[in-house]
């Protein structure tokens, strides 16, 4: 096992890691701390900026810069440290709702969930943001919409609504961006943690971060547990592949939700970890708007 703490951010709620092959940097957010981070492995430098609202997730843009999913909607950011510009409001009249996890599909649409701050059952939705900047609600009645990943053939969308303790799969039409035929492919016992963020490797295996489970797990597409990566932080939130060969798994964690005793015993909680998986992931997709 080769796991290291690469950035000790002590993030309240670290989330949404995405690797940029062009700049060779790893971007991620602290949702509750309202921070955007950019880590460069070549020299260990981390650039950080504060934003005005909780930031659920980010995506790379095809024309450069980032797309931010802030509490009020989707915003454009030209570079870390610049001023965000509003692209599309979502729920700006509901102060009890914020954006959560999100990811782009291969045609450049950004998929992102919303949730209530109190995690009220059924209070969340899943949106699809088109390249025209128009958000469309795809699913409602969710609670904590989290991990998203597409199969290599673009025929399956994997999705996590965390309290269901499961990873579900949809038939996916890449041309239209529609999803049908929801089915359960992986169920996780609550004693092992709650499924949170999700990524997929080049062989189609799923890697899922376990909130409360101090680990990342690798599953085959048919649901068989293949590998467990222990993480020295109880609340593991998400993961993504990065590095020159896309075989380094970057893992985000959270300081939030820990007892005083846990915070003392987990000095790396809220940090960014790296695990050398020796298994390549898939390159990130970029927002086309």
* Tokens read off for 24: 């060779």
- What strands, in cross-sheet order, belong to the sheet with 248-253? 3-7, 272-276, 248-253, 236-242
With vertex at residue 115, the alpha carbon angle to CA 174 and CA 88, rounded to the nearest 5 degrees, is: 60
**SS3 assignment, position 61:** strand
* Tokens read off for 112: 């992102």
Return d(Cα 206, Cα 220) in angstroms, integer: 6
Rg (CA), the chain: 17
Return d(Cα 19, Cα 33) in angstroms, integer: 21
Residue 136 bridge partners (DSSP): 128
pLDDT (tens digit per residue) in 159-212: 999 999 999 999 999 999 999 999 999 999 999 999 999 999 999 999 999 999
pLDDT (tens digit per residue) in 44-70: 999 999 999 999 999 999 999 999 999
How many CB atoms within 10 Å of residue 46? 16
pLDDT (tens digit per residue) in 65-105: 999 999 999 999 999 999 999 999 987 668 899 999 999 99
Q: Report the DSSP pairing between strands 85-89 and 97-104.
A: unpaired
* Tokens read off for 101: 């996890």
pLDDT (tens digit per residue) in 102-138: 999 999 999 999 999 999 999 999 999 999 999 999 9
Tell me the pTM. 0.96
Residue 216 bridge partners (DSSP): 209, 229
3-276 CATH: 2.120.10.30
> At residue 23, does pLDDT exceed 90?
yes
Return d(Cα 275, Cα 289) in angstroms, integer: 32
- Torsion sign, CA atoms 234, 193, 152, 141: negative
């Amino acid at each position: 096992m080769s796991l290291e703490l690469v950035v000790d951010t002590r993030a309240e709620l670290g989330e949404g890691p995405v690797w940029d092959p062009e700049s060779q940097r790893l971007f991620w957010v602290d949702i509750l701390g309202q921070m955007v981070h950019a880590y460069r492995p070549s020299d260990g430098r981390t650039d950080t900026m504060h934003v005005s609202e909780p930031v659920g997730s980010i995506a790379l843009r095809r024309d450069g810069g980032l797309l931010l999913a802030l509490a009020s909607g989707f915003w454009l950011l030209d570079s870390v440290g610049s001023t965000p510009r509003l692209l599309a409001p979502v729920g700006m009249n509901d102060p009890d709702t914020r954006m959560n996890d999100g990811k782009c599909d291969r045609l450049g649409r950004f998929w992102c969930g919303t949730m209530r701050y109190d995690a009220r059952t059924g209070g969340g939705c899943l949106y699809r943001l088109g390249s025209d900047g128009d958000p469309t609600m795809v699913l409602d009645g969710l609670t904590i919409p989290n991990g998203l990943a597409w199969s290599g053939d673009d025929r399956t969308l994997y999705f996590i609504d965390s309290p269901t303790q499961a990873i579900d799969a949809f038939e996916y039409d890449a041309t239209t961006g529609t999803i049908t035929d929801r089915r359960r492919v992986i169920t996780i016992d609550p004693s092992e943690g709650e499924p949170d963020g999700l990524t997929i490797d080049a062989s189609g295996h799923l890697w899922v971060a376990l909130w409360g489970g101090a680990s990342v797990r690798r599953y085959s597409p048919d649901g068989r547990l293949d590998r467990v990566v222990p993480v020295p932080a109880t609340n593991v939130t998400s993961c993504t592949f990065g590095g020159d060969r896309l075989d380094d798994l970057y893992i985000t964690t959270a300081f939030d939700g820990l007892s005083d005793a846990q915070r003392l015993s987990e000095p790396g909680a809220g940090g960014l970890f790296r695990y050398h998986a020796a298994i390549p992931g898939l390159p990130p997709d970029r927002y086309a708007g």
